[in-house]
Structures are given as C-alpha cells and as structure tokens.
C-alpha cells in the first residue's frame, strides 16, 4: 500500500469515527473534550456566581451544580418563594447557609438595573461570573405574531441581558477582575427553527451582541460563554409566548418526551463555564448531528430541511408531532 493510499484510508477512518461520535454524544465535540480532559468543576469553589432565572428549569439546576462545587451563589428571579426552594436544594447538596443569597427582582425592569447591580455586588463583596439565564420561548406562526409580542420577547431575552451585562463588564474592568459573562441562548440561536420566529430572532441577536463583545475585549480580558441547549425537560413550554400579547402557550411536557434531563444540561453548562468555552451545543440525538450539518454544510441545508420537513423538525424540538401549523396555531 503506497503513502497516498494510507493517507486516504486514514482520512476515511477519521470521518467515520467523527460521524460515529456525533451519533452517540449529547453535546458538541469541543464540550465533549472539556468534559473528559478540561478543568474540573471544583475550580468553581469560592467563585461568586449570579444566576438570573434561577427559580426553575436550567437556572435552578445550574445553581445546584455550582453549590455542589463550592461556589457562592446569588439566586435571582421574580418569585422569592421559588428562590427559597432552590436555596434549600443548594443547601441539600452541601452548600453553606452563608454561601447562598436570595435576591429577587424583575430583570425586565432595566431602569432599576444599576441600583440592583450595586446591591448584588454587596451581597458577597464581589462578582466573578454573571449567568444571564432568564428568558422564555415561543410557539407561533410568523405572519400572525403581534408586534407587541416581538417587543416583549426582546425586552426579556435581549434588552434585560444587555443591560445587566454592560454593568457587569464595566464592573469587571473597574475592579480589575477577569470576569465571565454567560448567556443561556439556544440551538434556535444557531439556526432557524419553525414557529418561534420572535424567540429565534432574540437568540440570534444575543449571538450577534456577545460574539462582538468577545471580539472587542479579547479572550485575555473577558470570558464570554453562550450556552445553546436543545430540547430540555423544564416548564418552558407551558410558559411560552404565542402570537398574542399576554398569552401563554400552556402545553405541558410529557415525561416520555425525548429531551435532555435538566440536571445533565446544567452539568454540561457548568463544564462549559469552568473551561470558559465560547459557545456550546447540548441536546439529545438527532439534534447535535443535525446542528453540525446545518451550520457547517449550508449548501445542503436546504435539501436537508426539505427532506425533514416542518413536522419532523417540530417533533425533534417538542418530542411530538407539530403542535402548530398555519391553520392550527395552538
């Protein structure tokens, strides 16, 4: 066998192994490497981490993961009752009473952010990591969406995040801290998904803003991590925006749905944070290989999406036949 044949065989073997790994993993390959060979979660010990949207879902489980590994945590959301429940869960995994602070507020009230930020800093005397997790999804037909819904989604998913993050960046610079901004985005921020255009638009905007920030500051001055989960077990579907202002989608997730466990998503997110990864994808099969195709092979994306179709994409996303069509928005 000559040298060219050997090289060709190695390339084919590499591609086959690459494809096989993508078929069995629940995250992108950069994050997978960090899970096994990156920094350990114990490096979070002593870090002060502020988590918004911490009263349920991914935010709740991230807070528990941080607490398990010795971080000091500021828990924020609107519901103080739910935050106290999350605090209890953090204490159950070994956190000390003086390492968990409950700090309820409404992230959409950006006019009060500066005062709120200063109060948050005083809770532990410093801040190392801001995790912008608060947000809501959407299910609606593109042309039927009230413009008021677009505004409401961007107010929560984008503008509140920008407001807190800009305060954090200034704080990190003035305090001489190598700070870390984390934003919970979505795979819907990486590519388009049907029947949630306002939500998708808000997540694409997040990527635009924070990728720009990373380029401006450089990785040696500020860490910026975008977390992009796919379908996860949480209460997000029941609280989704729809096409009408003030309305929620109201669907419940079934225990038999094909989704990532929230605890697994939180663990992977914590690995991404402690390793200061730029962007990570997390989802059960087939979302990860599909994402790789859509992102890295745009020339065949049109064929792939045409073959899969709207119904199959929605089934991948919501673990059921599409719950929204042009004739049946609910």
Active-site positions read 199
How far apart are alpha carbons 212 and 202 in whole angstroms? 15
Written in H, E and C, the secondary structure of 97-155 is HHHEEECCCCCCCHHHHHHHHHHHHHHHCCCCEEEECCCCCECCCHHHCCHHHHHHHHH
DSSP letter (8 states) at residue 225: E
Helices 197-217 and 147-154: angle between axes, nearest 10 degrees? 40
How many Cα atoms are found within 13 Å in the side-chain-facing hemisphere of 217? Answer: 21
Where do the DSSP E strands lie in 1-81? 48-52, 72-76
How far apart are alpha carbons 103 and 92 in whole angstroms? 19
151 close to 140: Cβ distance less than 8 angstroms: no
Q: Give the residues across from 138 on adjacent strands.
A: 241
How many Cα atoms are found within 13 Å in the side-chain-facing hemisphere of 98? Answer: 3
228 three-class SS: strand
| CA distance between the termini of the chain | 62
Complete DSSP assignment for 260-291: B-HHHHHHHHHHHHHTT-SEEEE--TTHHHHH
CA 235 from centre of chain:
15
């Amino acid at each position: 066998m000559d040298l060219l044949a050997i090289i060709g065989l190695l390339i084919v073997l590499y591609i086959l192994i690459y494809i096989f790994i993508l078929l069995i993993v629940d995250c992108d390959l950069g994050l997978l490497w960090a899970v096994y060979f990156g920094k350990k979660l114990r490096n979070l010990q002593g870090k002060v981490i502020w988590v918004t949207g911490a009263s349920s879902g991914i935010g709740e489980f991230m807070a528990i993961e941080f607490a398990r590994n010795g971080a000091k945590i500021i828990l924020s959301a609107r519901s103080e009752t739910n935050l106290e429940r999350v605090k209890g869960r953090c204490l159950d995994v070994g956190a000390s009473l003086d390492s968990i602070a409950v700090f309820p507020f409404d992230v959409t009230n950006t006019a009060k952010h500066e005062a709120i930020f200063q109060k948050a800093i005083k809770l532990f005397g410093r801040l190392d990591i801001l995790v912008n997790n608060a947000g809501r999804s959407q299910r609606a037909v593109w042309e039927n969406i009230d413009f008021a819904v677009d505004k409401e989604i961007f107010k929560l998913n984008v503008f509140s995040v920008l407001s807190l993050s800009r305060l954090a960046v200034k704080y990190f610079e003035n305090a001489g801290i190598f700070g870390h901004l984390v934003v919970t985005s979505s795979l819907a921020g990486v590519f388009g998904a049907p029947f949630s255009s306002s939500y998708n638009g808000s997540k694409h905007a997040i990527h635009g803003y924070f990728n720009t920030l990373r380029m401006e500051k450089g990785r040696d001055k500020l860490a910026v991590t975008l977390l992009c989960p796919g379908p996860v077990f949480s209460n997000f579907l029941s609280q989704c925006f729809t096409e009408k202002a003030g309305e929620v989608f109201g669907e419940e997730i079934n225990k038999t749905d094909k989704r990532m466990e929230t605890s697994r998503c939180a663990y992977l997110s914590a690995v991404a944070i402690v390793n200061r990864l730029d962007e990570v994808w997390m989802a059960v099969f087939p979302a990860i290989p599909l994402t790789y195709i859509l992102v890295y092979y745009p020339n065949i994306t049109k064929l792939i999406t045409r073959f899969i179709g709207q119904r199959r994409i929605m089934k991948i996303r919501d673990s059921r036949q599409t719950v929204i069509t042009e004739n049946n928005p609910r």
